[in-house]
Amino acid sequence: MIEDSPFVAAAPVLVPMPAERPYTYAVPPGMRVVPGSIVRVPLGPRQVAGIVWDGTVETVDAKKLRSIEQVFDCPPIDRAMRRFVDWIAQYTLSAPGMVARMLLRAPEAFDPEPWIEGLQRTLAEPDRLTDARRRVLETAEGGLAWTRSGLAHAAGVSSTVIGGLRAQGVFETVMIPPRPVVAAPDPGHAVPELMPDQKAAAEKLRAAIAADAFNVTLLDGVTGSGKTEVYFEAVAAALDKGGQVLILLPEIALTHAFLERFQDRFGAKPAEWHSDLPPRMRERVWRQVAEGGVRVVAGARSALFLPFEDLGLIVVDEEHDPAYKQEDRVFYNARDMAVVRGHIGGFPVVLASATPSVESRVNASQGRYDRVVLSSRFAEAALPDLKSIDMRRSPPARGGFLSPVLVEQMRRTLERKEQSLLFLNRRGYAPLTLCRVCGHRFGCPVCSAWLVEHRFRGQLVCHHCGHNERRPEACPECGTLDHLVACGPGVERIAEEVVGHFPDARTIVLSSDLLGGVRRLRLELEAVANGEADIVIGTQLVAKGHNFPGMTLVGVVDADLGLANGDPRAAERTFQLLSQVTGRAGRTGKKSLGLLQTYQPDHPVMRAIVSGDSEAFYEREIAERERAALPPFGRLAGIIVSAATRGEAESHARALRRSAPTASDLFVLGPAEAPLSLLGGRHRFRLLIQGERRADMQGFIRAMLAEGPKLRGSVRVQVDIDPQSFL
């Protein structure tokens, strides 16, 4: 730990940069630090916050040694959290300093929250009692301290009135401790009446909490089965035991609706934690989590790095959601890191989903996780009647993309004054533009993916790197005017087709391109929920989180989209997405319908969705993955995400094969996950591995580094899950 040299005491300090090990700093005489202390240290030309780490210090050149400037008045990062940082650094092959950086993302929170100035009633009486003064005294009755502006506001007077009373000694200045960011949740606030299978599931979770040990439960409940209510019982049990609780949600799902639901159950909102929390709030939440004042946090993946004082449960909702993957700097999957955090902290973890990831299903079937299934649905929340439309038999009209079968159902839905949702997971107007004369295709000059036409904006946009240009009139290759043709549909194009069919219907397109940002989007979603649109055309953004009570028809424009992209998870992802989308309808109690436009009605994904038999899908998918040795079965799959040149990508692919001969598949992909054949231009080399066996993977990385020392620093690793060595 802290070692005394003959001259100065020194401490290892993890600084927030890609350092492989802690740096050594001198501890000035009289300063007290312990492992976990958050300290201010000089680093190059600037001052940074670092964490005093475990272990002995390395002797460094006396000329290099600098001193810790300050120990923050802040609870030290506990041992479990420090081990968590080291574990993640090792597992993701990232520098520990970069992992530590994720803990230090609330710089102002390291100093205690200041007490604020307040006013308290004294025994003195004012010289004259005016109307305004009387209101102030009535408001302040009860002896509690008020802020000056708060009291003025509550009494409906100007703050000069308060100032006058203060001057007369009717009020005295007192210091008020910082206000809690949220009220304390009450586990007994509104205990729900649970259905029998919910009750049984809640009992199992409660037992896991009572056991006071690490354990993972996969809570697998079909849409509408009341998963949230069940895991709220686990939350209540953990709170009863006195621990703190973290509920992880995919960023998108961190909605108002969830917070309300929590408040209904516990009488208070959880503290929120996500990337667009205002800085002041961020600091207060961080501090109060560290001090234990906040009991429950609902947050995005970064909430995993909050310094909980006494964490007793993590719930990962929608555990299959890809938003849990962080894919820059430190590559990690928050769902898996939550499991690791539980293991280190010795507490239970609950993974909840209506469509669990294949990894979690495998972990459950192999006994590493417990599995609790909720199979019955509330009667009024029945799923829609689901059917596929075989596009070979009911093709769309020329130039269109909607089958007559779907159009007819939309017409009927309109007649009944109910809402339809068309889902197409593709922004813009058309995913590819080409010249009818010379065949020129518009590609991205930066990353060589195709440019997507956004007709509304008059632009061609690269959805991978954000590059955009004006849509020209003439072909840049042959110069012919007005012969550019849009290939394939995006939501804008579907909207055009819909308006052609139903010119009088209120049609709206919802995608992340919507002008006006998140606020506008929220307003539009609300408007739709209030019935202010007849037909909604949306990307996956409509698939998540939001309920539309009047929606009785869901049409999936291209259910096959995403099945053929070479991703080993394509079928799983499509199944999950289609389950979610079709779940958007049918919560009304009215009869509702889901239609999937597909060219492969016999594909296992379509059969599973239409029949509702997800068990069969999982069994088949797991068997298939095992046979092909794809994730999550103990083989390694490497993905080169981008390379400096095509030749370099190829040579690294060969190196990859040599060093990982057992790898089942080597995916050589472009920066845009485009096939290698699309790679062109110069790109920084980056490597992304979705692998299972850590030993294989690390060996491979070492081989890569030996192969090309210049690559060091630009190699990044993603590990999805490693069931063999995980726990």
Partner DNA sequence: AGCACGCCGACT
Partner DNA sequence: GTCGGCGTGCTC
Sign for the pseudo-dihedral over CA of 81, 87, 91, 95: positive
Q: What is the CA radius of gyration of the chain?
A: 29
Phi and psi of 596, rounded to 5°? -110, 115
Residues 698-727 that bind DNA (CB under 7 A): none
Regarding 288 and contact with DNA (CB under 7 A), the answer is no
- Nearer to DNA among residue 66 and residue 522 (C-beta): 66
Stretch that binds DNA, among 29-37, 63-71, 336-344, 402-410 (CB under 7 A): 63-71
The answer to whether the CB of 351 falls within 8 A of the CB of 218 is: yes
- Nearer to DNA among residue 26 and residue 289 (C-beta): 26
Structure tokens at 511: 């995608």
Stretch that binds DNA, among 56-64, 347-355, 560-568, 683-691 (CB under 7 A): 56-64
Query: CB 697 → DNA: shortest distance, Å?
Result: 20
What is the spatial distance between Cα 122 and Cα 169, in angstroms, rounded to a whole number? 7
- Nearer to DNA among residue 25 and residue 171 (C-beta): 25
Query: CB 60 → DNA: shortest distance, Å?
Result: 4
DSSP β-bridge partners for residue 710: none
Q: Which residues contact 600 (CB under 8 A, 6 or more apart)?
A: 560, 563, 606
DSSP per position, 508-566: EEESTT-TTHHHHHHHHHHHHHTT--SEEEE-GGGTSS---TTEEEEEETTTTTTTTSS
Stretch that binds DNA, among 22-30, 268-276, 342-350, 585-593 (CB under 7 A): 22-30
Q: Which residues contact 53 (CB under 8 A, 6 or more apart)?
A: 11, 12, 13, 14, 22, 35, 82
Q: What long-range pairs does 441-445 form, CB within 8 A, spacing at least 24?
A: 443/678, 444/672, 445/681
Query: CB 112 → DNA: shortest distance, Å?
Result: 25
- From candidates 2, 3, 18, 207, binder to DNA by CB under 7 A: 18
- Nearer to DNA among residue 72 and residue 726 (C-beta): 72
Structure tokens at 189: 């606030």
Q: Which residues of 180-214 are buried (b: 16+ CB within 10 A; e: fewer)?
A: ebbeebebeeeeeebbebbeebbebbbebbeeeeb
- Nearer to DNA among residue 536 and residue 704 (C-beta): 704
Residues 36-55 that bind DNA (CB under 7 A): 41-46
What stretch of H or E contains 386? strand 385-390
Q: Which residues are annotated as a binding site?
A: 435, 438, 444, 447, 462, 465, 475, 478
- Nearer to DNA among residue 42 and residue 192 (C-beta): 42
- From candidates 2, 8, 31, 60, binder to DNA by CB under 7 A: 60
- From candidates 9, 14, 24, 637, binder to DNA by CB under 7 A: 24
Query: CB 329 → DNA: shortest distance, Å?
Result: 6
What is the spatial distance between Cα 94 and Cα 91, in angstroms, rounded to a whole number? 8
- From candidates 31, 65, 381, 437, binder to DNA by CB under 7 A: 65
Regarding 329 and contact with DNA (CB under 7 A), the answer is yes
Query: CB 9 → DNA: shortest distance, Å?
Result: 13
Q: Is 668 helix (H, G, I), strand (E, B) or coil?
A: strand
- Nearer to DNA among residue 23 and residue 266 (C-beta): 23
What is the spatial distance between Cα 232 and Cα 292, in angstroms, rounded to a whole number? 20
DSSP per position, 559-607: TTTTTTSS-TTHHHHHHHHHHHHHTTSS-SSS--EEEEEES-TTSHHHH
- Nearer to DNA among residue 102 and residue 222 (C-beta): 102
Query: CB 88 → DNA: shortest distance, Å?
Result: 16
Which string of x and - marks every residue 547-576 that binds DNA (by CB under 7 A)?
------------------------------
DSSP β-bridge partners for residue 335: none
Residue 72 CA: distances (Å) to CA of 140, 175, 176, 284: 37, 22, 22, 15
Q: Which residues contact 167 (CB under 8 A, 6 or more apart)?
A: none
Query: CB 48 → DNA: shortest distance, Å?
Result: 8
Q: Which residues contact 653 (CB under 8 A, 6 or more apart)?
A: 640, 666, 668, 676
Query: CB 328 → DNA: shortest distance, Å?
Result: 8
Stretch that binds DNA, among 16-24, 466-474, 619-627, 661-669 (CB under 7 A): 16-24
Structure tokens at 347: 């507490």
Query: CB 691 → DNA: shortest distance, Å?
Result: 21
The answer to whether the CB of 484 falls within 8 A of the CB of 475 is: yes
Residues 94-153 that bind DNA (CB under 7 A): 98
- From candidates 4, 7, 30, 64, binder to DNA by CB under 7 A: 64
Q: How many residues touch DNA (CB under 7 A)?
A: 20
Query: CB 23 → DNA: shortest distance, Å?
Result: 4
Stretch that binds DNA, among 18-26, 241-249, 518-526, 655-663 (CB under 7 A): 18-26
What is the spatial distance between Cα 327 and Cα 714, in angstroms, rounded to a whole number? 13
- From candidates 9, 14, 25, 572, binder to DNA by CB under 7 A: 25
3-state secondary structure 38-105: EEEEEECCEEEEEEECCCCCCCCCCCCCEECCEECCCCCCCHHHHHHHHHHHHHCCCCHHHHHHHHCC
- Nearer to DNA among residue 25 and residue 633 (C-beta): 25
Phi and psi of 19, rounded to 5°? -85, 135
- From candidates 2, 8, 17, 446, binder to DNA by CB under 7 A: 17
Stretch that binds DNA, among 13-21, 108-116, 479-487, 700-708 (CB under 7 A): 13-21
Regarding 8 and contact with DNA (CB under 7 A), the answer is no
Query: CB 448 → DNA: shortest distance, Å?
Result: 19
The answer to whether the CB of 233 falls within 8 A of the CB of 189 is: no
Query: CB 105 → DNA: shortest distance, Å?
Result: 11
Environment class of residue 149 by beta-carbon count within 10 Å: exposed (0-12), middle (13-18) or buried (19+)?
exposed
Query: CB 659 → DNA: shortest distance, Å?
Result: 24
Query: CB 715 → DNA: shortest distance, Å?
Result: 11
- Nearer to DNA among residue 64 and residue 393 (C-beta): 64
- From candidates 9, 23, 222, 370, binder to DNA by CB under 7 A: 23
Stretch that binds DNA, among 15-23, 135-143, 480-488, 679-687 (CB under 7 A): 15-23
Q: What letter represents residue 301's amino acid?
A: R
Regarding 521 and contact with DNA (CB under 7 A), the answer is no
Q: Which residues are annotated as a binding site for Zn(2+)?
A: 435, 438, 444, 447, 462, 465, 475, 478
CA 538 to chain centre: 20
Instruction: Return the number of other C-beta atoms located less than 10 Å from residue 321's C-beta.
Output: 24
- Nearer to DNA among residue 23 and residue 273 (C-beta): 23
Phi-psi region of 718 (alpha: psi -120 to 50; beta: other; left: phi over 0): beta
The answer to whether the CB of 140 falls within 8 A of the CB of 151 is: yes
What is the spatial distance between Cα 225 and Cα 613, in angstroms, rounded to a whole number? 16
DSSP per position, 391-409: TTTSPPPTT--S-HHHHHH
Which string of x and - marks every residue 75-104 that binds DNA (by CB under 7 A)?
-----------------------x------
- Nearer to DNA among residue 9 and residue 205 (C-beta): 9
- Nearer to DNA among residue 24 and residue 580 (C-beta): 24
Query: CB 57 → DNA: shortest distance, Å?
Result: 8
- Nearer to DNA among residue 52 and residue 421 (C-beta): 52
Q: Quick one: DSSP state of residue 459?
A: E
Regarding 66 and contact with DNA (CB under 7 A), the answer is yes
Contact residues toward DNA (CB under 7 A) are: 16-18, 23-26, 41-46, 58, 60, 64-66, 98, 329
